[in-house]
Chains A and B, each alone.
Chain A
Amino acid sequence: MHPTDFTLRGAIEALTEGTISAEELTRAHLDAIERLNPRLNAYITVTAEQALEQAKASDERRRQGLAGPLEGVPLAIKDLFCTKGVRTTAGSRILGNFVPPYESTVSANLLRDGAVFLGKANLDEFAMGSSNATSAFGPVENPWSRRNDPETKLVPGGSSGGSAAAVAARLALGATATDTGGSIRQPAAFCGVAGIKPTYGRCSRFGIVAFASSLDQAGPVARTVEDCAILLRSMSGFDPKDSTSADVPVPDFAAACTRSVKGLRIGVPKEYRIEGMPAEIEALWRQGLEWLRDAGAELVEISLPHTKYALPTYYIVAPAEASSNLARYDGVRYGLRVEERGDDLTDLYERTRAAGFGAEVKRRIMIGTYVLSAGYYDAYYLKAQKVRALIKRDFDQAWDKVDAIVTPATPSAAFGMNEKTDDPVTMYLNDVFTVTANLAGLPGLAVPAGLDAQGLPLGLQVIGRAFDEETVFAVGAALERSANFTALPAVRVGA
């Protein structure tokens, strides 16, 4: 077996048994990156030297009996997490030269537990996108391709497209990602891997470049549900540096993966049966529910009546918060500065922001500024906050009847790089099944569950109660066992 084919759990066992060293495991991944990253563009920055140093230090800690829970595990870090001394771009020209003098809490937690960082994963600019096409560092190619049309390059989804593609192609055992409207779950589904957005407040946002602060959450992408559980445990935890960090205990998520789903009530929201949904997605959803029923769960039809308003609500709230958060990029304190002789301060701001931000980011800043402006605040922003409350209330009422909700993860399989790019609203519809969990602050897990007729992966989503990731993992792992998803992408190491 090629060392890059280990699951994260399998790698931890091999490292513990001593059948492989962290250095060997890291070298295997760096070799894989060297071979495949020029094509996939999953990493913006590869930190090979630092990774090898970390791996050697990890092997030394293990020799001394000081192995942490992730000792020697090579990971990709989404380039939205600040990494001390390593360039952090957020996929934007405006941060193209930014080298953080501090470490994000989530990545610091992973280092504390012994992880090795291979590099910084590509993403949509400022995490705004569903195809990774808005990255200033070029698009990421999905390692999967259509069976009867292998030449068409597909998107990996977004915004965590680099994270998902790297994990699928065996360029990392797992990766950090972030999810504001579906940015972990949609790319995970498109790339045939697992990914969880935990409850808002579970992972600290400190040191993660901010997009929409009331929606942003960090989470892992990995090749199995259990691997996600292992990573999430390390990433989570109370952090006084994030005022919205939840001071709650972090359970053993991996242990929850072996829990039975017998007797669990699984909600099937009728509003998620959307018009124009491909028959294959509908069929996979039905199949997933049957698997759970066969495993002893009870299926309950529920109603989440405000579902259809979730996307427009999101596209008011998220741009509003983004327009405020991105005001900091002014060319003065860090990042890009563009100025010409004789410029005053306003010219400097304008020139810097015009050159530094891409089209999608500019669109969202302008929409956000508009919905927050004096004459429109009540009609748009306040209205959206109220509808958001109703969307959350729908879920609150559903939890009286069910323990988890199962839906498709995405309304389609991965699409071609040149498809769906002309109309922003069409692109926004990618997040139709995922965005509700962000608005309500709930955990959502994407699990690869099958293939479409073209041989592309399709995912199911499990949504749970706030801070009940354990039930989400139990249901996700049950789906994973039944689906027995063993298909592999065309582009991967060892292929």
Chain B
Amino acid sequence: MQAELNGILGWIEQLQAVPTEGVEPMAGGGAVSMRMREDVVTDGGIRDAILANAPDREGDYFGVPKVVE
């Protein structure tokens, strides 16, 4: 794994050769800017659907090992 990761990192190193001064980084995939929407609840009341795949469920909660001593 270590040799593979080093191989990949060595390979992506070639980007350093590209002059990018003053270039605005491209973050998203599309040309359209993000939409705003009303700040309202659009979903909810689906507790059982949310918990349906829980590996460990305790009542209406996800079960996890003890976190706080």
Q: When the two chains form the complex, which single residue of A214, A332, A343, A344 contacts B55, counting CB atoms closer than 8 Å?
A: A332
Docked CA distance A424–B64 (Å): 36
**Residues on the A chain within 8 Å of B7, using CB:** 423-425
Q: Tell me the number of A-to-B contacts counted with CB atoms below 8 Å.
A: 137
**Residues on the A chain within 8 Å of B67, using CB:** 344-345
Please judge, given known A-B contacts A200-B29, A214-B27, A332-B64, whether A425 and B8 are in contact too, CB under 8 Å: yes
* Chain A residue at minimal CB-CB distance from B67: A345
* Contact between A315 and B37, CB atoms less than 8 A apart: no
**Residues on the A chain within 8 Å of B41, using CB:** none
**Residues on the A chain within 8 Å of B40, using CB:** none
Closest chain-B Cβ to A341's Cβ sits at a distance in Å of 10
Within 8 A of B (CB), among A370-421: 370-371, 379-380, 382-390, 392
Q: When the two chains form the complex, which single residue of A243, A316, A331, A345 contacts B35, counting CB atoms closer than 8 Å?
A: A243
B25 at the interface (CB under 8 A from A): yes
* Chain B residue at minimal CB-CB distance from A216: B29
* Contact between B28 and A387, CB atoms less than 8 A apart: no
* Contact between A425 and B11, CB atoms less than 8 A apart: yes
Docked CA distance A98–B67 (Å): 25
* Contact between A306 and B11, CB atoms less than 8 A apart: no
Closest chain-B Cβ to A441's Cβ sits at a distance in Å of 5
Docked CA distance A200–B30 (Å): 6
* Contact between A315 and B29, CB atoms less than 8 A apart: no
Within 8 A of A (CB), among B4-30: 4-5, 7-9, 11-16, 18, 20, 23-30
Closest chain-A Cβ to B31's Cβ sits at a distance in Å of 6
* Contact between B49 and A101, CB atoms less than 8 A apart: yes
Contact with B along A312-323 (1 / 0, CB 8 A): 110110000000
* Contact between B12 and A316, CB atoms less than 8 A apart: yes
* Chain B residue at minimal CB-CB distance from A425: B11
**How many residues on B have C-beta within 8 angstroms of the other chain's C-beta atoms?**
40
A348 at the interface (CB under 8 A from B): yes
* Contact between A345 and B29, CB atoms less than 8 A apart: no
B59 at the interface (CB under 8 A from A): no
**Residues on the A chain within 8 Å of B15, using CB:** 309, 312-313, 316, 380, 383-384, 387
Contact with B along A193-204 (1 / 0, CB 8 A): 000000111000
* Contact between A385 and B25, CB atoms less than 8 A apart: yes
Closest chain-A Cβ to B42's Cβ sits at a distance in Å of 8
Q: When the two chains form the complex, which single residue of B16, B30, B46, B55 contacts A201, counting CB atoms closer than 8 Å?
A: B30
Q: When the two chains form the complex, which single residue of A199, A244, A382, A438 contacts B28, counting CB atoms closer than 8 Å?
A: A244
* Contact between A333 and B54, CB atoms less than 8 A apart: yes
Contact with B along A239-263 (1 / 0, CB 8 A): 0100110110000000000000000
Please judge, given known A-B contacts A312-B15, A315-B8, A363-B1, whether A388 and B26 are in contact too, CB under 8 Å: yes
* Chain A residue at minimal CB-CB distance from B36: A243
Please judge, given known A-B contacts A333-B53, A335-B53, whether A312 and B11 are in contact too, CB under 8 Å: yes
Docked CA distance A276–B64 (Å): 54
A366 at the interface (CB under 8 A from B): yes
Docked CA distance A132–B25 (Å): 32
Within 8 A of A (CB), among B33-57: 34-35, 37, 46, 49-50, 52-56
**Residues on the A chain within 8 Å of B25, using CB:** 382, 385-386, 388-389
* Contact between A367 and B8, CB atoms less than 8 A apart: yes
A108 at the interface (CB under 8 A from B): no
Q: When the two chains form the complex, which single residue of A99, A216, A384 contacts B52, counting CB atoms closer than 8 Å?
A: A99
Knowing that A240-B37, A312-B13, A383-B15 touch, tell me 13 more A-B residue pairs with CB under 8 angstroms.
Answer: A99-B53, A200-B29, A243-B34, A348-B64, A359-B1, A367-B8, A370-B9, A383-B18, A386-B18, A386-B26, A390-B18, A424-B4, A441-B31
A contact set with B: CB distance below 8 Å = 97-99, 101-102, 199-201, 213-217, 240, 243-244, 246-247, 306, 309, 312-313, 315-316, 331-337, 339, 343-345, 347-348, 359, 362-363, 366-367, 370-371, 379-380, 382-390, 392, 423-425, 438, 441, 466
Please list 5 pairs of residues, one from A and one from B, whose beta carbons are closer than 8 Å in the complex, sorted by A's number: A99-B52, A244-B29, A309-B18, A345-B65, A390-B20
B contact set with A: CB distance below 8 Å = 1, 4-5, 7-9, 11-16, 18, 20, 23-32, 34-35, 37, 46, 49-50, 52-56, 62, 64-67
